[in-house]
């Protein structure tokens, strides 16, 4: 049974088909792994009752009998939905997110909810109200964030796949830190209905898994138009696994973002690993050119402003009146608002709300918010122009390997710059995948991004899969799990 721990979805489906193991036994296996190993890394806030998990899903479908985990900001009917915050402690969801509804219909066994940075605000999963999550490759280091719980759980073999959310890189960066696949889709391809909003124009539900094929399989089940989401694209459901082959599409043009690899602060081991990956793509027949994205230098600042402005608006609903925590001892309505939000929100969330209200305030909106929207339009235009000359882009996912806990406690700006290479895609609404491409001399995973134009999911997955078939990085797992 130990061979199941790091098996792919494809391998588990074959074992279920051949009746080597039953869905009930498979779920038991991963629940036992959770009990044994999660006390070490704290990746998962709750594993649900087995009977409720089994009864909630169909017995048929592409993911029938396959356990998975869900980030704690995605609604699962009748289960706790806390966003890793005290302000929503014990709050139970009243409906399924569309992605959850579709996964249940596909037969997936949704076994629990994962830890995260509070309200998805962070890059290290250190801001959770329920304790930090540790990286399985080195438990003295962060797993990335804000979806660090989902990434750590998959990396540690507690589940073969998990859902996260990506507002500025919160799926791709933790995937890179933990040595697995992390995928952010085109904005609107996967419904946001049931995803608790941080930055509504940037948020997307994303996927963690161990292989590109598994990512494509899960994407095939959750993607497609949803009438419940006004930002949902009119894209029909399709099978994203059907075009995955060992070779690249003929004549594929890949642009290497030179000013990303040359950026200040880039770890030389990460640059070296990506250069080796580029050589692999050349050997596969890709036409490699070097390109520049000048707006990359402004993306993090624009993202900082826009995400916090939207967060201030979205989190205004958590006031102690409608749901969640309420200060019942307050003597006035104003005190109830103030005390509830002060006690319920952690310092990172409070900070982002304050900044968001500031950049939206009279006298500052033009200088900050409107200028950030101008930069966002420039970023989108630059990607459009760049993709006239190349089909895909290669760039780093992260500037440094997974860092130690508390590394940026006195330098919050450096923590914010963890989104430097990932937030441009959220601002532009385009898809990107992070795939493992090496390890440092200290055995820490390295990831790189493949980025494509609007709705280029199939091409990105093809290119990532072809690279994966020529390398073994995705087959490596942390010791001791």
308-338 burial by CB neighbour count: b if 16+ within 10 A, else e?
bbbbbbbbeebbbeeebbbbeeeeeeeebbe
Give the active site residue among 43, 85, 128, 146: 146
How many whole angstroms separate alpha carbon 83 and alpha carbon 76?
12
At 296, give phi and psi (nearest 5°).
Answer: -55, -35
- Is 361 labeled as catalytic in the residue annotation? no
> Minimal CA–CA distance to 154: which of 478, 387, 432, 450?
478
Known active-site residue 334: no
Identified catalytic residue from 71, 104, 134, 184: 71
Is beta strand 67-71 parallel, antiparallel or unpaired with respect to 161-166?
parallel
CB 445 within 8 A of CB 439: yes
* C-beta of residue 311 within 8 angstroms of C-beta of residue 203: no
The answer to whether 260 touches 296, Cβ cutoff 8 Å, is yes
Contact 32, 145 (CB under 8 A): no
Q: Which of 43, 85, 123, 170 is catalytic?
A: 170
What are the backbone angles phi and psi of residue 383, rounded to the nearest 5°? -65, -45
Give the C-alpha separation, 162 to 178, whole Å. Answer: 13
CA distance 352 to 450: 30
Q: Is 388 a catalytic residue?
A: no
State the catalytic residues: 71, 146, 170
């Amino acid at each position: 049974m130990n061979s199941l721990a790091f098996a792919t979805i494809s391998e588990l489906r074959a074992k279920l088909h051949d009746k080597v193991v039953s869905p009930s036994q498979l779920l038991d296996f991963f629940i036992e792994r959770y009990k044994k190993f999660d006390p070490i890394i704290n990746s998962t806030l709750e594993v649900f009752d087995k009977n409720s998990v089994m009864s909630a899903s169909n017995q048929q479908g592409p993911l029938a009998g396959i356990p998975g985990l869900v980030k704690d900001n995605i609604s699962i009917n009748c289960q706790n939905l806390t966003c890793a915050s005290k302000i929503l402690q014990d709050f139970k969801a009243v409906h399924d997110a569309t992605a959850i509804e579709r996964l249940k219909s596909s037969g997936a066994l949704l076994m629990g909810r994962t830890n995260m940075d509070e309200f998805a605000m962070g890059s290290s999963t250190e801001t959770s109200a329920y304790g930090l999550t540790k990286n399985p490759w080195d438990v003295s280091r962060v797993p990335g964030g804000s979806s660090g719980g989902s990434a750590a759980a998959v990396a540690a073999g507690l589940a073969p796949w998990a859902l996260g959310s990506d507002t500025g890189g919160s799926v791709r960066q933790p995937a890179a830190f933990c040595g697995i696949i992390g995928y952010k889709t085109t904005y609107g391809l996967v419904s946001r209905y049931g995803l608790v909003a941080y930055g509504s124009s940037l948020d997307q539900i994303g996927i963690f898994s161990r292989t590109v094929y598994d990512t494509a399989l899960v994407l095939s089940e959750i993607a497609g138009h949803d009438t419940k989401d006004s930002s949902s694209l009119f894209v029909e459901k399709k099978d994203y696994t059907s075009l995955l082959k060992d070779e690249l599409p003929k004549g594929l043009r890949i642009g290497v973002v030179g000013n990303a690899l040359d950026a200040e602060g880039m770890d030389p081991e990460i640059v070296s690993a990506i250069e080796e990956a580029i050589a692999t793509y050349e050997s596969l027949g890709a036409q490699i050119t070097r390109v520049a994205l000048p707006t990359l230098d402004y993306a993090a600042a624009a993202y900082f402003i826009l995400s916090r402005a939207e967060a201030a608006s979205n989190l205004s609903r958590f006031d102690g009146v409608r749901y969640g925590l309420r200060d019942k001892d307050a003597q006035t309505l104003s005190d109830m608002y103030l005390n509830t939000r002060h006690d319920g929100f952690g310092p990172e969330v409070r900070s982002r709300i304050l900044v968001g209200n500031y950049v939206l305030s009279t006298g500052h909106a033009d200088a900050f918010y409107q200028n950030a929207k101008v930069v966002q339009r420039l970023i989108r235009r630059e990607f459009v122009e760049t993709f006239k000359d190349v089909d895909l882009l290669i760039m780093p996912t992260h500037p440094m390997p997974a860092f130690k806990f508390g590394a940026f406690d006195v330098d919050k700006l450096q923590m914010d710059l963890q989104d430097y290479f990932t937030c441009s895609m959220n601002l532009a609404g385009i898809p990107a995948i992070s795939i493992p491409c090496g390890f440092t001399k200290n055995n820490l995973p390295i990831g790189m991004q493949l980025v494509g134009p609007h709705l280029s999911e199939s091409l990105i997955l093809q290119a990532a899969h072809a690279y994966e078939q020529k390398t073994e990085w995705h087959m490596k797992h942390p010791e001791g799990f």
